Amino acid sequence: MNWNKVKIVIGLLVATYLYVYYSSPGMVVVDANGNIEGFINSIRASIQGKEFWKNQLKEVNSVLEWELGEPQRQAKLNREMNQMFREVDQSMEEMYREYPDMRPSAAERLAEVLRERADQIEQQEVDRYIDKIRLERIAELRNILPLVKASAE
């Protein structure tokens, strides 16, 4: 038997154990049934015990807080975008006053208004879909939370 190979294997096993003991998946890996997703995460739970569940509790709370805060972040972004559009419109009006020949025709303005409305309709559909997914994720996290909390205590 080659002792160098044995030492390498033992070293790799120790390194793997230490990695699994001290690492965190960095995300929620527990589903609504309390099952742990992934082989490595199952090993982590076995080795880390309550610490694994405490980390999962932090992750669930963090993701839940993020998802619940999305409407406020989106509203802020919308306000900033609207302000930017108003500033661009003001700049364009100043340019049109200085160079009236550059002002779009009535037909071009109407076409632009219709394109903007079509974009708004499409964006509303995307927003509804994203919000549906977000609300489903919030419901899932709210189901996971008591399971993780119970295991962390």
Q: What is the pLDDT of residues 56-69, one digit of tens each?
A: 999 999 999 999 99
Task: Round to whole Å and give the CA distance between 59 and 151.
Answer: 14
The answer to whether 24 and 62 are in contact (CB under 8 A) is no
Q: DSSP letter at 103?
A: S
Query: Using an 8 Å Cβ cutoff, are 34 and 147 in contact?
Result: yes
Alpha-carbon gap, residue 57 to 145, rounded angstroms: 7
Query: HSE (CB half, 13 Å, CA atoms) of 30?
Result: 29
**Distance between CA atoms of 51 and 11, rounded to whole angstroms?**
25
Q: What's the rounded Cα separation, in Å, for the pair 66 and 88?
A: 32
* Domain coordinates in residue numbering, the chain: 3-152
Token couple for 26: 């960095």
Contact 52, 76 (CB under 8 A): no
Whole-number pLDDT of residue 94: 94
Query: What is the pLDDT averaged over residues 88-113?
Result: 94
CA distance 48 to 26: 14
DSSP bridge partners of 30:
36
Mean of pLDDT values over 59-86: 96
DSSP assignment letter at 153: -
Q: How many whole angstroms separate alpha carbon 148 and alpha carbon 153?
A: 9
Q: Region 85-98: what's the mean pLDDT?
A: 94
| Cα-to-chain-centroid distance, residue 8 | 40
Q: What percent of the chain has pLDDT over 90?
A: 80
Residue 114 confidence (pLDDT): 97
**Which range among 6-15, 32-41, 115-124 shows the weakest confidence by mean pLDDT?**
6-15
Q: State both tokens at 55.
A: 């980390």
